[in-house]
Amino acid sequence: MTIADQLNAKGATPETILQILKTSVFEASDDRSPDEMKAVLKRAASDPEKVDQALKELEAKPELVRDIAMMWISFAASDPEYKDAVEGAIDGADREMPMLEIGAITLIALYAIYMMGPDKPIKEKTTTKWNKDGSFQETTEAEYSRFDAPVKALLGIFTKGAGNG
């Protein structure tokens, strides 16, 4: 069953997607606390102040946070290192109250971008898309060569060799 099939079967909502982001990123990061995530991001940033600026920008753009959540789910579901975390997060979604505190979810979204960073080359990309009718669709592309401009700008905060987590 594909990730899109799992999301469709779950009847995933925007809140469910954010819950899956939260749960899977925490698991994939070895259950780092938000403070630990922020410290990792600041160590990995070429300029630590840009992390705080990026978080403020993300707080003002909830649609970008949702896009990042879908990018993370697609990325992590196709990466053997993170696949179980995403599938488990989908299975467990809606069993607990969703975390919707914007500051925390934006930090998790930025950490997800960091985890998808430039040191993670992708040969094949599977993308899960949320359709307007509420269903999900999955597509696979042979080469993953770029992020969209807003995500590229956020990814640009982190240098390839800085801080290793």
Give, for 90, the enclosing helix (H) or strand (E). Answer: helix 83-92
d(CA 71, CA 3) in angstroms, rounded, equals 12
The 10s digit of each residue's pLDDT in 30-61 is 999 999 999 999 998 888 999 999 999 999 99
> Could you tell me the two tokens for 160?
């390839």
Strand 136-141 versus strand 125-130 pairing type: antiparallel
β-pair partners for 139: 127
Q: Is-above-0.85 flag for pTM?
A: no
Tell me how far CA of residue 136 lies from CA of 5, 51, 87, 89, 130, in angstroms.
Answer: 7, 31, 15, 16, 5
Integer CA distances (angstroms), 11 to 4, 73, 93, 133, 155, in order: 10, 15, 10, 11, 30
**Which residues in the chain come in under a pLDDT of 70?**
95-100, 118-125, 140-149, 152, 159-165
SS3 45: strand
